[in-house]
A and B are shown apart, each in its own frame.
Chain A
Amino acid sequence: MKSKWYGLAPLLAATALALISPVAAQTPPNVLVVGQIAEPASLDPHVSTAANDFRIAVNLYDGLVRNKSGTLEIEPALATDWTISDDGLEYTFNLREGVSFHDGTPFNAEAVKFNFDRMLDETHPFADTGPFPLSFFFSSVDKVEVIDDLTVKFTLSEPYAPFMSNLASPTGLIVSPAAVEQFGADYGRNPVGTGPFKFEEWQSNTSVVASRNQDYWGGAPALEAAIFRPITDANTRVAEMLSGGIDVLLETPPDNVAQFRDDANYQVVEAVGPHVWYVMLNAKEGPFADVRVRQAVNYAVNKESLVNDVLQGTAEVSAGPIPPAFNWAYNEEIDPYPYDPEMAKQLLAEAGAEGASLTFLVTEGGSGMLDPVPMGTAIQADLAAVGLDVEIQTYEWNTFLSEVNPGLEGKADMAEMAWMTSDPDTLPFLTLRTAAWPEEGGFNSSYYSNPEVDELLDAARVSTDQEERAALYKKVQEIAHEDAAWLFVANWKQNAVVTSAVENFELQPDFGLVLRDVSKP
């Protein structure tokens, strides 16, 4: 018996060697392999909701307008220029000439109309290729008209300042009508746009491959192809980067960032994002109904330590409800509450809230939530140090949202939350107005209310003058800060690690992963 096995041994060893010996190859030149955080759900930009999908979509498609590289300012894309009527209701776009979709069909005003009607008109023949979860970004659009082949006019039902920002968001990307007609509900796996890269293939859970669009109106990109690989587990993603399987690592776990920073084979790329991480404070009932208690917790929490120790420098301390990424609307003059436990104790004493017991809703994870459990416990510890007794209740993300979105009344005093938005209007409009309390269908789950803020936000939404809007948002930040509407915590800095072979790689403040200028010789 033994001898039989010994006979097999060399054969087995040879097979094992044959499989193992070719050392895992480096990725080929001119092809960029991106390690994504998950399998995309759909490459139909009107259907998807995840940043993960958008990172691919922005390379396959163009919108009428886009955010200028490195900023959140609008610049032309498929529209070369536009006019806005004085009442802020009519937007007329002149379209770029001679642009074709990857399937060869021409891009024109009809195509634009098709795109928006598909999302907004429930009787449109292709409305059933949805659902279109984020189409409410355009719910102020009353109608879209074709003026001539290269001119299209949007009429809004009410003035809506964030309209241009929303057009520049991934939901505003323009898809090929012919391809939607051909593939119907399967369009999301057969995407056709006008972008710098053409969709090649999608192997479920293995890769999405996009190749260079030689005829791109903005000039063909340097890369021959971009391959997006889903690698859900953060540790595995890091391991793939270290073993040479990918060129770009997205959303590096905070604990690994330093390791890559210290290694000359890699570059760590960072960018601010329009992201806010905060803790809602129930202003309707309990201790936080008193503004002094809300201010006290803002003094009591050591946010510097949170962003440096818990988040390992992957975020910055936040001062208010509008993130600095919206540079034109951001109020530089407002400083974050300093860490001052003595001041906190004093305020708590004045309010008679010493030793109060608080319930704190914490999520296990979720879009933009960073490291919610360690952050929650750090906050709990800081509040304990000033004598507040915080009880944490932890929920899975979807459950968490269904607990928090209907409002904190009767349930909790505090709840974590984070938002990523494309316009400075979105977050305060949905979370700080009195008319956005949950029963009105908004996300003001902590019942903050200040008539002055309400007025400012209403005015900012209908103004088409950017300077005027900026002044209004700056005032909103000032008041929200003084009122301590929330426990302001952090603004996330997005990060990516790329190998030293990759050139011109930049992260965009809108979270788009724009590869048209990237090269990897």
Chain B
Amino acid sequence: MTTYIGKRLLAAIPVILGLSIIVFLVMKLIPGDPAQALLGSYATPENVERINRALGLDRSWPEQYVIWIGNLLQGDFGRSYILNRPVLDEVLERFGATLILAGSSLIICSVLGILAGIVSAVRQFGWTDRIVTFFVLIGISMPAFFLGLVLILLFAVQWRLLPASGMYAVYGGGDLPDLLRHLILPAGTLAIVATGVVARLTRAAMLEVLRQDFVRTARAKGLSENAVIYRHAFRAALVSIIPVIGIQAGFVLGGAVYIETVFQWPGLGQMLVKAVSTRDLLLVQGGVLVAATVYVLVNLLADVAQAMLDPRLKA
């Protein structure tokens, strides 16, 4: 197992390195540069040149890239051009916020999705199955940003039950209940879509397993229906459910981009959107690198968990 993890980690290095090159090139190839973004209407060629010199952007692309990677290996992610602040400070601060949001959504969608999936598989075509399918369909087809706005309108504006945006209250807040209060709407919105997917796939996996011989054997042995479903069938179905959770982890990380914008959640997604529009190259590269690394790690984790459950995959 250790060699397997080690191999996977080593394989991730070229992926992340390649990604850094792609991000670097994309940011260079789209028109407009940080100087342009800083100067706005005042961007004369002369002013642009002056700012580019001050930012070290007058060097050749390979030179800029090599300098960046060199500094990176020494733990220096550089300084954001626009925020004039160390990239690592900004990225870590933002990443913490994203982790809280994406993590809690992932927990919500896994728990609810798996439960809903099991229930609708066990009572296939019953009324619970129909209700679950109905909500799953809504969850899957409703754009997350729109759902977010609807929830803000209901819970924050109409009923004034929950804050509309932000991660903490700007005065007298900052404790855990305050954080949770701010988390309910964005994490809930993000989870609803993912819950639908998890529920659909859990249902399919369970239906598949419930038809198999060992389930029939378990029933024949006189085990209680609950024991059959949760101890035998669900355990077997988990092998196909876990990779889905891994994919959903990537999905909520990606989905966090809109949700963070709608709910003003101070996370990585929101930062990246702004950094791209201001052509803040080092910040984009730093942010993407961290996000990609986490994505690779989460998928690795899911694969390891799956391998542990299903010995056939270890080879």
Contact = CB atoms under 8 A, between A and B. Distances in A.
Interface of A: 1, 18-21, 23-25, 27-28, 31, 33, 38-39, 41-42, 44, 47, 49, 130-131, 133-134, 136, 185-186, 188-189, 203-207, 209, 227, 229-233, 235-236, 239-240, 242-245, 366-368, 396-399, 401-403, 405-406, 417-419, 441-443
Nearest to A186: B85
B103 to A, nearest CB: 18
Interface residues of B, number: 64
Contacts, number: 168
Contacts of A417: 41
A233 B261 contact: yes
Nearest to A231: B264
Interface stretch (B68-76, B166-174, B244-252): B166-174
Contacts of A367: 40-41
Contact of A236 (B160, B161, B264): B264
State the 8 A-B residue pairs at the shortest beta-carbon distance, nearest first.
A398-B32, A205-B266, A131-B54, A243-B156, A239-B164, A207-B170, A399-B31, A402-B31
7 contacts: A133-B35, A186-B84, A205-B97, A205-B266, A366-B40, A399-B32, A417-B41
A186 B230 CA distance: 57
B149 A235 contact: yes
Contact of B153 (A21, A136, A230, A239): A239
Contacts of B161: 20-21, 23-24
B293 interface: no
B51 A131 contact: yes
Interface stretch (B3-11, B42-50, B125-133, B301-309): B42-50
Contacts of B203: none
A371 to B, nearest CB: 18
A182 to B, nearest CB: 16
Nearest to B230: A1
B123 interface: no
A243 B32 contact: no
Given A23-B161, A235-B149, A419 B156 contact: no
Given A206-B266, A245-B163, A402-B32, A33 B54 contact: no
Contacts of B200: none
Given A233-B264, A235-B262, 17 more contacts: A1-B226, A1-B230, A18-B177, A24-B161, A24-B163, A41-B84, A42-B84, A185-B79, A188-B85, A204-B94, A206-B167, A233-B262, A239-B152, A239-B156, A239-B165, A398-B37, A405-B43
Contacts of B47: 133, 136
A231 B55 CA distance: 28
A231 B266 CA distance: 10
Contacts of A23: 160-161
Contacts of B264: 205, 230-233, 236
Contacts of A1: 226, 230
Contacts of B54: 130-131
Contacts of A240: 156, 164-165
Contacts of B31: 398-399, 402-403
B237 to A, nearest CB: 16
A283 to B, nearest CB: 20
Given A130-B54, A133-B47, A441-B45, A24 B166 contact: no
B36 A243 contact: no
Nearest to B115: A5
Given A206-B168, A236-B262, A19 B180 contact: yes
Interface string B76-114: 000100111100001001100100000000000000000
A123 to B, nearest CB: 14
B157 interface: yes
Interface string B226-267: 100010000000000000000000000000000001111010
B217 interface: no
A397 B43 CA distance: 12
